[in-house]
Structure 1
């Protein structure tokens, strides 16, 4: 596999920082250029497919290159690593294979979980990691799960990863998806109406990869037809949005109930206890932005006297999520629960 060079790391899609990738981005950028700040560093970014782990790493590597002297880095996938290793074994060129993956300043290996059950390849990767760390180099890994959930892996490999920095990168919440779309559209100079951004952001489980692809498809369709991006163009271009199943009010109430630790019955009552008020507002907010339910139906389900109270709840949560990371976390967890059912 050819060595990556600085000129090959230009990114067509800009990196957008949201809550779900902020911790990993902050840590990686703090490491600085590997030549100027040599230090043995092992990092694992873990999270579901499409969360942007690989894109984040490539963006940070490009940032390191812009901010310091040039360096060599090698990027591979775990499946590619295992395949190359088998070929090296068959051709008796394992030393050359090891040098190609160890004689660099930064080694990036994506989708580590793909090495499950491949013990020889795991041993070889472990040797490469140890060699790089011994020479104060960097190893950046991605996987779908944290090290403790890497099944059919050698204990030494799992322990070595545990000894590094393991950082989560999760799928974005509705607020995160909306912010991502707005920032990405701005970076790509795409005029994205608010109602279209909302339409794209609503479906549960939509990844950053999905959103990026959808935005590019919309932009291409808009240019071909020489028309602006509209809700109608979006629905005709992205058929999947029209058939996306919406979470029901009972499902949303159950998810919020579990997240805040309050019974559904109390969530639907008129109690003014502070904890119940906030959790009820979140349930109403999710019922509107994800369930796309009319305010009158939401008000009736949650025992409100008038639909204007539901409108107020949605606006209140929209304002609070801008400055309250704890509330954003609660909402993201409730969305995760809705995705899993």
Structure 2
């Protein structure tokens, strides 16, 4: 089947999206396109040198895997800095290509708008996506506290819930909720100044400002807003300089009664390298978590998506998707997109049997499995250690605890024997491993912070 560059990239993006937070997906993939496909090499056009380096070092394997899943002849992906071309370049393509595209059309203009990345209209002044609103946010028992707190700060910026810290697993709607706050605040009289920034973008801006002596301008930019929304704050724990700059910006806004809204994939106490002065400030406001959606809520989310997109999908198909993907709302939407796009490209009706075939690989993806090396790597990264420190005989407190957690995960998730775990982790006696596993198991009953840490480590283990 003939497939244009745009169609290839749109399908690849639906695969890539489920591996990233929504904020990072928009930040790094919004202005990308396939510029060429020749001799098994896909050439990806990116907006600037910073994006080129970031995609090559951080997301190359996701990009290559996604493109290969669609076109098995692809061997590699290359990156060039080029002008982003919007979808209207379709009119300039040769007639031969247009005929083939029309035969495999994706349907109405509304369908194209909802199922491609091309039409995401990010506000350049606020970085907000106008599609994220309270009206399109599904509320259930798993997120009602976070939703109520978010609604509350809209009515009273800089009031009692300042800062508001919302945390939860990947793909559960944190980005949607915090951007909905920003979009709602923009409706207020007086035009409040709102700025939404993913943490990785903030870090990039700080690096660039330091290299160009522009820190003064950068600080003024952040200090002038009425509502600052920071997404994925857990990444800021990587360097002391980033934490220092954010600390000063935070203090200035807080002392001026400006609202600060923060999201994270974990509780502040579970961010291992976060400075105590930042942690205490985050905990000084309101902390709300977003849990996992139940079956009925997942179904409601899917129905809302189909209504928004103007697509008719049989209810049995929606139930199948809801039962197949239980822990990630973004994956739910990605699976729905994949089913609808595939049926449109093949010009086939959406049926349960076809859906099972399209999503067959979802249940078999390697992210569902882990290994000894992955457990060690993820535990070490989470607690900001070297893998070698977990294996060595060090008795330092900051090493002993993560080592016990690694032992627990190896026992619980890999069913490794106690002697095997002891031999691999510092040549410990098997009784030491038994003690560690019992200790962690017992503590999990009364320590929600430890439970959150292990959940975050597991999430990372199964996403690699």
TM-score tier, shorter chain, comes to 0.5 to 0.7
**Which segment drifts farther, 54-63 or 215-224?**
215-224
2:144 equivalent to 1:22: yes
**Which segment drifts farther, 172-181 or 132-141?**
172-181
2:360 equivalent to 1:239: yes
Q: Distance in 2 between matches of 1:122 and 1:67?
A: 31
Q: Distance in 1 between matches of 2:175 and 2:163?
A: 15
**Which segment drifts farther, 217-226 or 193-202?**
217-226
Deviations 1:242-272 (A, max 9, x none): 6489xxxxxxxxxxxxxxxxxxxxxxxxxxx
In the TM superposition, 1:33-72 aligns within 5 A as 37=157, 39=159, 41-66=162-187, 68-72=189-193
Deviations 1:54-84 (A, max 9, x none): 1111122212323544222222222222222
2:131 equivalent to 1:11: yes
Q: Distance in 2 between matches of 1:111 and 1:58?
A: 13
- Count of paired positions: 248
2:199 equivalent to 1:78: yes
In the TM superposition, 1:53-202 aligns within 5 A as 53-66=174-187, 68-202=189-323
Q: Is the 1:18–1:176 Cα contact (8 Å) retained in structure 2? A: yes
Deviations 1:119-150 (A, max 9, x none): 11111111111111111111111111101111
Q: Is the 1:107–1:139 Cα contact (8 Å) retained in structure 2? A: yes
**1:159 offset after TM fit, Å?**
0.3
- Give TM-score scaled by structure 1 length: 0.64
Q: Is the 2:206–2:242 Cα contact (8 Å) retained in structure 1? A: yes
**1:231 offset after TM fit, Å?**
0.7
Q: Distance in 2 between matches of 1:89 and 1:162?
A: 29
Deviations 1:250-295 (A, max 9, x none): xxxxxxxxxxxxxxxxxxxxxxxxxxxxxxxxxxxxxxxxxxxxxx
Secondary structure of the structure 2 residue equivalent to 1:159: helix
- Give TM-score scaled by structure 2 length: 0.48
What is the RMSD computed on CA atoms of the aligned residues? Answer: 3.1
Residues 95 and 166 (structure 1), Cα distance of their counterparts in 2 relative to 1, 3 Å cut: same
**1:101 offset after TM fit, Å?**
1.5
Pick 1 or 2: higher relative contact order, CA cutoff 8 A, min separation 6.
1
Deviations 1:8-46 (A, max 9, x none): 531179322232222211211122256xx5537211111
Q: Is the 2:186–2:194 Cα contact (8 Å) retained in structure 1? A: no
Residues 66 and 7 (structure 1), Cα distance of their counterparts in 2 relative to 1, 3 Å cut: farther
Residues 60 and 190 (structure 1), Cα distance of their counterparts in 2 relative to 1, 3 Å cut: farther
Secondary structure of the structure 1 residue equivalent to 2:241: helix
Query: Which runs of no fewer than 5 residues in structure 2 stay unpaired?
Result: 1-26, 28-121, 367-454
In the TM superposition, 1:301-320 aligns within 5 A as none
Residues 4 and 164 (structure 1), Cα distance of their counterparts in 2 relative to 1, 3 Å cut: farther
Residues 158 and 94 (structure 1), Cα distance of their counterparts in 2 relative to 1, 3 Å cut: same
User: Residue 223 of structure 1 is aligned with which of 344, 347, 353?
Assistant: 344
Residues 126 and 54 (structure 1), Cα distance of their counterparts in 2 relative to 1, 3 Å cut: same
Residues 170 and 68 (structure 1), Cα distance of their counterparts in 2 relative to 1, 3 Å cut: farther
**1:225 offset after TM fit, Å?**
4.0
